[in-house]
Amino acid sequence: MAEIKTEQEYRSLMKRIDELIEVVDDNTPTDSKEYVELDIISGLVAEYEDIHYPIGKPSLVDTIKLRLYEKGITQSKLAEMLGISPARVSEIMTGKCEPTLKVARAICQKLDISPSIVLGV
């Protein structure tokens, strides 16, 4: 199968995707030429981006910060929710220490964060 070899090809295909998105929607038959073209180009672009623009796993601290922002929770409130001191939360948030297994479980449950992120796997 073909692959994208240059950044110029990538940019060109991204423009084509933008054009196709204007005509392809949920009601477009899967055998239409636009749908098929969009599907093929999207796969090529995804492969290129996986190699040239990889997205790493989020860190625990970044994930906690995002959840706190989304839920409107302060670090002090998080400490209360987890049953630990605000100083301990601060240490976790600055990367000075790792949460205990008990605290890690509470983080997963209270903030709805995947255990794989909390455990770093």
Q: In the chain, how many domains are there?
A: 2
Q: What is the mean pLDDT of residues 49-77?
A: 92
pLDDT digit string, tens, across residues 2-54: 899 999 999 999 999 999 999 999 999 999 999 999 999 999 999 999 999 99
Mean pLDDT of 52-78: 92
Answer whether 113's CB lies under 8 Å from 67's CB.
yes
Residue 102 lies in a domain: yes
- The CATH number assigned to the domain holding 110 equals 1.10.260.40
3-class secondary structure for the chain?
A: CCCCCCHHHHHHHHHHHHHHHHHCCCCCCCCCHHHHHHHHHHHHHHHHHHHHCCCCCCCHHHHHHHHHHHHCCCHHHHHHHHCCCHHHHHHHHCCCCCCCHHHHHHHHHHHCCCHHHHHCC
The residue segments making up the domain with residue 38 are: 7-52
What would the pLDDT profile of 81-93 be if each residue is shown by its tens digit? 999 999 999 999 9
pLDDT of res. 116: 83
Same domain, 109 and 71: yes
Model confidence at 121, pLDDT cuts 50, 70, 90, reads low
Q: Are residues 66 and 23 in the same domain?
A: no
**In the structure, what pLDDT confidence band is assigned to residue 72 with cuts at 50, 70 and 90?**
very high
Positive or negative, the CA dihedral 95, 99, 105, 110 is: negative
Return the higher-pLDDT residue of 118 and 69: 69
Q: How confident is the model at residue 55 (pLDDT cuts 50, 70, 90)?
A: confident
Is residue 112 domain-resident?
yes
Which residue, of 52, 69, 88, is where some domain finishes? Answer: 52
Residue 47 lies in a domain: yes
